[in-house]
Amino acid sequence: MLDDILDYTENIRERPVWQPIPRAVRAAFREPLPQKPVHLASIHNTFMRDILPYSVGNAHPGFMGWVHGGGTPVGMLAEMLAAGLNGNLGGRDQIPIEVERQVLRWVRELFGFPDTASGLFVTGTSMANLIAVLVARTKAIGAGVRRQGVAATGKRLTAYTSAGAHCSIAQAMDLAGLGSDVLRIIPVNGRYQIDIHALEEAIGRDRSAGLTPFLIAATAGTVDVGAVDHLAAVAEIARRETVWFHVDGAYGALAMLAPDLAPRLAGIERADSIAFDFNKWGQVPYDAGFVLVRDGTLHQSTFASPAAYLRRETRGMAAGSPWPCDFGPDLSRGFRALKTWFTIKAYGAEKLGAMISKTCALARYLKHCIEAEAALELLAPVALNIVCFRYRSGNADEVNRNIVADLQESGIAAPSTTTVNGCLAIRAAIVNHRTNRSDIDALLQAVLVLGSVHGNRQSKAQP
Ligand SMILES: *Cc1c(COP(=O)(O)O)cnc(C)c1O
């Protein structure tokens, strides 16, 4: 099994990025509950034949759809060790939790947070955003809300984010019982950053109406075009208005590792909380989300529970309080910290930063190629590693939608689509450390060929 999966990562370029799933393969996963053991070698054969070839392909250098990390063999092997230990990191006195705290210390150092800041591994940034919204809710209306519910406070909390924010911010408002309607969606400027003036106006309007603004969720690296909000300006408004300043840095926050990119995130060190994923730009295998909270005490008071079976002692296995389960809703928790700790140690912050920087250089290369090619059109500024463009044509949305579907089915490259200013865009998010110029060239070449096919078809169809 080890040989096969190492061969897979080593020779991944020889494979298609993704391929359509044959009906028979899908049908193989409709069998009844197995009553008798199946030989391990046979299960592994099924894995090689029916599972491995039909994943989404984000380990492949041609994968540019959505913001997915590529993973590494180091992370994979660390995950195997973690599974062998079968650690449960909800609590108790054990070194695996010290490993998680070590990663927390590195994260504090990276973002310039104080020693009193708390942090926690979670599934992903969606969960990290939810935790941040819940801690901000505690700050605004107190921990009593945990027993009494939101309605009892009589306050109408309002939150603010940009039109480019990820949908998990609205979902967090929903799950926190505050409602997504009170999340004010602020328009973006020409660089797809939150419009600072409109933000101030919206807060002022809500205050005048007797509502209680409590949270601004800025984004470092929007999911559609990779824009970074003006974090220092948002921090200043949050301070003046005494509202919580959260940064959704799902993939972009780790740009702090790259000296050429870190200045663009200036102001992130003033955040009350940051949500990000090690499994995106950090290349740690899925899943490895993280939430960092400046006020560790407030964070703990949002989640800690007095359950008797979670009783703490000063010695024995029940020592070592506070435990990770005091900082989030999960009690059973895997050892996500190990693959992250291995990744950071095996490559070092400098090399990880250089890799992140390289993906942005590739995005600039792609941008220049698009600008030099009359048949193509850039649709959004390239702030980090995401490039939105299209093939120029009549009925461009239809043509570009077909180009992307053909590309994905061809296995050559896998961009995704998004909508920019009402136009359907081919979106290339360059996140994978394995991607290089030849992959960008292959993408461009294929877009031009497919574009001329679909574009011609369009012009023939016109009367
Ligand atoms: C990916 C992403 C998310 C969601 O993170 P998950 O780890 O998929 O839950 C949230 N915000 C932004 C900006 C993202 O890029």
Ligand 1 centroid, distance to 68 Cα (angstroms): 10
Please tell me the predicted confidence (pLDDT) of residue 365.
98
Q: Whose CA is nearest to atom 12 of ligand 1?
A: 250
CA of 274 to the centre of ligand 1 (A): 12
Pick from 67, 113, 66, 167: which is nearest to 291 by CA?
113
CB 291 near ligand 1, within 6 Å: no
Residue 132 in contact with ligand 1 by CB distance below 6 A: no
Residue 461 is predicted with a pLDDT of 64
Which of ligand 1's atoms lies nearest the C-alpha of 124?
7
10 Å Cβ neighbour count for 135? 28
- Label the pairing between strands 273-277 and 244-248: parallel
What confidence score (pLDDT) does residue 462 get?
Answer: 58
Going across the sheet that includes 157-162, the strands are 118-122, 289-293, 273-277, 244-248, 212-219, 157-162, 183-186
Task: At 327, give phi and psi (nearest 5°).
Answer: -120, 5
The predicted structure's pLDDT at residue 308? 76
The Cα–Cα gap between 363 and 431 comes to: 10
**Best of 168, 173, 336, 430 to mutate for ligand 1, by most ligand atoms within 8 A of CB?**
168
User: Cβ(219) to ligand 1 under 6 A?
Assistant: yes
Q: Report which protein residue has its CA nearest ligand 1's atom 14.
A: 250
Rounded distance from Cα 309 to ligand 1 centre (Å): 34
Domain ranges of the chain: 79-344
Distance 148 CA to ligand 1 centre (A): 31
Residues forming a β-bridge with 219: 248
Give me the DSSP letters along 251-309: TGGGGGGSTTTGGGGTTGGG-SEEEEETTTTT-PPS--EEEEES-HHHHHHHH----GG
Residue type (1 letter), 299: H
- CATH class for the domain made up of 79-344: alpha beta
Measured in Å, residue 124 CA sits from the centre of ligand 1 at: 7
Q: Cα–Cα distance between 299 and 20 in angstroms, integer?
A: 45
Return the pLDDT at 137: 98
Task: Return the pLDDT at 20.
Answer: 94
Is the beta carbon of 288 within 6 A of some atom in ligand 1?
Answer: no
Q: What share of the chain is helix, strand, coil (3-state, %, to 5)?
A: 50, 15, 35
Q: Are 363 and 387 in contact (CB under 8 A)?
A: yes
Please classify residue 342 by burial: count the beta carbons closer than 10 Å to its beta carbon, then call 0-12 exposed, 13-18 middle and 19+ buried.
buried
Is residue 366 lining ligand 1, measured as CB closer than 6 Å?
A: no
Residue nearest to atom 5 of ligand 1 (CA): 125
Which pair of structure tokens corresponds to residue 418?
């998004």
How does pLDDT run along the chain (463 residues), one tens digit per residue? Answer: 999 999 999 999 999 999 999 999 999 999 999 999 999 999 999 999 999 999 999 999 999 999 999 999 999 999 999 999 999 999 999 999 999 999 999 999 999 999 999 999 999 999 999 999 999 999 999 999 999 999 898 899 999 999 999 999 999 999 999 999 999 999 999 999 999 999 999 999 999 999 999 999 999 999 999 999 999 999 999 999 999 999 999 999 999 999 999 999 999 999 999 999 999 999 999 999 999 999 999 999 999 988 877 889 999 999 999 999 999 999 999 999 999 999 999 999 999 999 999 999 999 999 999 999 999 999 999 999 999 999 999 999 999 999 999 999 999 999 999 999 999 999 999 999 999 999 999 999 999 999 999 987 777 665 5
Q: What is the pLDDT of residues 45-73, one digit of tens each?
A: 999 999 999 999 999 999 999 999 999 99
Q: Ligand 1: does its nearest atom lie under 6 Å from the Cβ of 235?
A: no
pLDDT for 6: 97
Of 186, 221, 187, whose CA–CA distance to 383 is shortest?
221
Residue 311: predicted pLDDT: 87
Ligand 1: nearest atom to the Cα of 223: 15
Instruction: Return d(Cα 75, Cα 245) in angstroms, integer.
Output: 32
**Residue whose CA is at the smallest distance from ligand 1 atom 1:** 250
Please work out whether the CB of residue 244 comes within 6 Å of at least one atom of ligand 1: no
Using CB atoms within 10 Å of the CB of residue 394, give its burial: 0 to 12 exposed, 13 to 18 middle, 19+ buried.
exposed
Which atom number of ligand 1 is nearest to the Cα of residue 280?
A: 1
pLDDT of residue 331: 95
Residue 148 confidence (pLDDT)? 94
Distance 225 CA to ligand 1 centre (A): 13
pLDDT of the residue at 227: 97
